[in-house]
Each structure stands twice: as structure tokens, then as C-alpha cells.
Amino acid sequence: MTATGTVLGYTMKTLRRLPRPLRRAIMARAAGGDLPPVPDYVRMMEIAGDLPETGPTDAELFARFPQLAAVRVEDQAAGVPARLYRGPGEPVAGLVWVHGGAFVSGSLDMAEAHFTALALAARGFPVLSLDYRKALHGVRYPAGSDDVLTGWTWAVANADLLGVPAERLHLGGASAGANLAAGVAKRLRDGAGEAPASLQLIYPILHAELPPWESGEMEKIRKNRAAVYFSPEWVAAMSRHYCDDPADPYAFPASGDPTGLPRTLVVNCETDTLRSSGEAFAGRLREAGTDVTVHLESAAVHGCLGEPFTVAATGIIELMGANMIPR
């Protein structure tokens, strides 16, 4: 137990009770830069429960994107906490979506989960958004992976609720959620169930340790106050917290054999140290014969789907939709 983590935890817990405009103002001043050491960060999350939500309200989203108001949203008993999003039109394909949060935070209410699902559903891609157990209070891998597998299995068995046949269901996630999606895809490949039509991996972390960067390039990201700086040491420490075996091919999908995975979209953000993980994994997939589309979102920072009013967020949504159109 760390004193710093305890103080941070109660601070975040207090912030979560404040009105949203005040939360936004305070969190905006603290955004970017180095993260607390992993033990402090984990303790903070154990006390606070989650980071304060600073994303736009539904009213703000609907004012900017009126088409989102037509999306029907329902909580689902999918074996794990889940939320189903259906637009008014004929569905094109479905997505099972997993939010990020460094394996220790995040929820169905965060913009990365909620806005992404609303925006895709409004475009004709119904979404089942999944939550999962976090690596807190003694919970570790494979709990989160098991939860995502449970949600995927439920979606396949209940594809009619998404309005599409099971073979038109895709699986994807952002950041740690992309890790979970890719790990589950490997489990499905190895016999755990029906494989997805594709993988949608958005600013993913897929390695236990970051593939190397040129030090000067990484330092540029560290100095960018708009970007969260995930140092190689921080990533390695969080990986050890999540799973003590860096070679586990399901916990860290870049490990082991990538052969046989479905076609994959990998979106990396230019101002994001995790970019080297997505780039390296895409290269391995291509070498294994997988159909891979790689996109670099210029000037974007990690977590940009959590900022719905940005060009990066809307551009990534469009790219995901185009990639899921049946071929």
C-alpha cells in the first residue's frame, strides 16, 4: 500500500462527486505528462473506483451529432456488464467493442466506450459494448480476458439482437481493450469459439514491453503536454501487475504465433508511445499472411476516441465503419 496512491485515490474519489464542468476544468489542468508509478496508480484506482468522467453528456453529443439521438441503447445481461446499441437503419455488420483503461480503469460510460458505440450504431453498425473485471484488489489475468470471451460468446449466440448473422460480427477495442480483443481472437483461433469477421485494434498495447523507439522521438512525446506519456518502464511494470508471464500469448498477443488471425485494422496515434506496439504487431501479422490495414492518425494522442469533438475521433470512427463493410 502506498501513501501517494492513497492520497491520489481519495482525491480522485472526491473529484468524481463534483459537477462535470468543474471536473473537466480540474482534469484538463492535470492532463498529459508522466503517470504516477504503477503501485501508486493501482492504489489510486482501488480507492477511487475509476477516473472522473469528463467526456461530453448525451445532450452535448446530440447537439453536435443529432443522428446519435436515434440510436437505441439497452443494458444487456450478457454474462458480463454490457450495453447494446442499435441504430434505426438496416444493420451492415456488428461489433463487440472493449474499452481501454490500462487494465485497471474504464467503464461503459466513458466516451471511448459510449461515443464510439453511438457513432458506429448510427452508421449502421450495431455495437455490443463490454465491461470486464479490472486488475484491482487481487484480480489479475485471465479475469478480464475471460469476461471478454464470455461477452463475445454471448454476442455470437444472440447475434439476432444485433440484427446481423454471427459471421458478420467483428471484435475490437481501444488500448488495453484492443489487447483483450486480440488475445480473445487468439483464444478463438485456438478452439474457444467462433472467430470474428475482423479485428479492430485502436491505439493498441499488445506487448509486455514496448518495442524500442529512438530516444529522441520518445522524448518529443514526453514533452507534449497534450499527450499521456507511457514510458517503457511504466508499461513493463503495468504488464507485470496485470500478468506475471510476459510470454503468455493470450495476455500479450504480440507473443507467440499470430498465424490464423482474422483480417485486422490497426490504428496508431502519432503522438503516442504505444504506437511502436501497434506497428510491430501489424508487421508480424503481415509476415504471417494476415490481411492487415494500418493507419497512422496524424498528430493524434493516445485515447483520442475519448474526445468525440476532435477530427481524430470522428476520422477513426469512419475508418472502422469502412473496414467492417462486408467484402
Domain limits of the chain?
A: 1-54, 56-324
pLDDT in tens, 6-44: 877 777 777 677 666 656 565 565 566 678 999 999 999
| Global confidence as pTM | 0.95
The C-alpha atoms of residue 42 and residue 135 are separated, in whole angstroms, by 8
Closest listed residue to residue 124, CA positions, set 165, 162, 91: 91
pLDDT in tens, 39-63: 999 999 999 888 878 889 999 999 9
pLDDT for the residue 81: 98
pLDDT in tens, 181-193: 999 999 999 999 9
By DSSP bridging, strand 72-77 and strand 94-98 are unpaired
Asked if the bond preceding 262 is cis, omega within 30° of 0, the reply is no
- Would you mind telling me the total number of residues written for the chain in this entry? 327
Region 108-123: mean pLDDT is: 98
Q: Quick one: what percent of the chain has pLDDT higher than 90?
A: 80
pLDDT for the residue 34: 78
Can you read off the three cell numbers belonging to residue 54?
469528463
CATH classification of 56-324, choosing from 2.40.30.10, 3.40.50.1820, 3.40.640.10, 3.30.499.10?
3.40.50.1820
What mean pLDDT is reported for the chain?
94
Can you read off the three cell numbers belonging to residue 80?
458480463
More confident residue, 309 or 32: 309
More confident residue, 26 or 156: 156
pLDDT for the residue 15: 64
